[in-house]
Amino acid sequence: GAVVSQHPSWVICKSGTSVKIECRSLDFQATTMFWYRQFPKQSLMLMATSNEGSKATYEQGVEKDKFLINHASLTLSTLTVTSAHPEDSSFYICSARDNPGTEFGIAKNIQYFGAGTRLSVL
């Protein structure tokens, strides 16, 4: 259980074009999904939190007009990189939060990750 599918796994695009990345929770409903970016040899940096039926919450320094997030259903969130430039080339990973309840009153906050998307902008 708790499988998250991310598509595409690799995309190459020309500078100035837009790219859409999909993230699906396959066997559970996810009211909250997260989008991360990972630079080489660095940790995962949270870009935004995606909530079903409402606007995404962006982390400081992330351009909301550049990285459009849509969470139209309980199993699908999309990230669109608009007018991509070479500096947007990176590894993008989504995650979805399952809700396995609480443990002694503390939320068991487990996120399950997709396989990631390697974006290369030429």
Residues that bind another protein (CB under 8 A): 2, 4, 6, 32, 34, 42-44, 46, 49, 51, 57, 91, 93-95, 97, 103-116, 118
* Phi and psi, residue 97, nearest 5°: -95, 120
Contact 96, 27 (CB under 8 A): no
Minimum CB distance to another protein smaller for 57 or for 82: 57
The Cα angle at residue 40 between residues 42 and 98, in degrees rounded to 5: 60
| Alpha carbon distance 66, 100 (integer Å) | 33
Task: Please report how close the Cβ of residue 42 comes to another protein at its closest, in angstroms.
Answer: 7
Q: Is 91 helix (H, G, I), strand (E, B) or coil?
A: strand
118 token code pair: 């390697």
